[in-house]
């Protein structure tokens, strides 16, 4: 097989892998949602992630206030706000990830199942088995 045929074949294989992964993720999402729309699920997950965001913001603000050092007695409001916002963002991200973990698990599981199927088909194409 010359280089052009090989590269076209491998490019087509990569495209099949990508398409099968996306198709599997969609199927896993639809299977999890069971006909419900995605937006209300994400809104509910975001609403539930506000508590970890608030906790993260408080922890971040406290760390910002404590990080001024022993010799420096005045607090930097900008530093406290920055640490608070960073903590809030980390808390929100963690909370949203936790609340939507089952959706992500279903989508990833189905995507991997489809990718493995395409990889197996590709292997059989490269290594034909003679049944006799």
81 Cβ neighbours under 8 A, 6+ residues apart: 61, 64
pLDDT tens-digit series, residues 33-66: 999 999 999 999 999 999 999 999 999 999 988 8
Within a domain: 131 = no
DSSP state of 85: H
The Cα 21–Cα 112 span in angstroms is: 7
Within a domain: 89 = yes
Within a domain: 67 = yes
Q: What is the pTM of this model?
A: 0.74
Give the chain's domain count: 1
Residues making up the chain, counted from first to last? 132
Its domain, for residue 87, covers 3-126
pLDDT tens-digit series, residues 72-107: 566 788 889 999 999 999 999 999 999 999 999 999
The Cα 114–Cα 108 span in angstroms is: 10
The Cα 121–Cα 96 span in angstroms is: 36
Q: Are 63 and 88 in contact (CB under 8 A)?
A: no
Within a domain: 99 = yes
Within a domain: 132 = no
């Amino acid at each position: 097989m010359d280089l052009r045929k090989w590269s076209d074949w491998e490019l087509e294989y990569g495209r099949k892998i990508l398409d099968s992964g996306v198709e599997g993720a969609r199927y896993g999402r639809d299977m999890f949602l069971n006909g419900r729309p995605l937006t209300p699920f994400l809104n509910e997950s975001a609403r539930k992630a506000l508590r970890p965001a608030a906790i993260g913001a408080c922890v971040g603000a406290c760390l910002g206030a404590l990080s001024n050092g022993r010799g420096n007695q005045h607090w930097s409001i900008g530093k406290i706000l920055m640490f608070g916002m960073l903590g809030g963002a980390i808390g929100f991200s963690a909370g949203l990830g936790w609340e939507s973990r089952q959706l992500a698990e279903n989508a990833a599981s189905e995507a991997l199942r489809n990718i493995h199927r395409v990889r197996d088909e590709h292997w059989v194409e490269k290594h034909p088995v003679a049944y006799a």
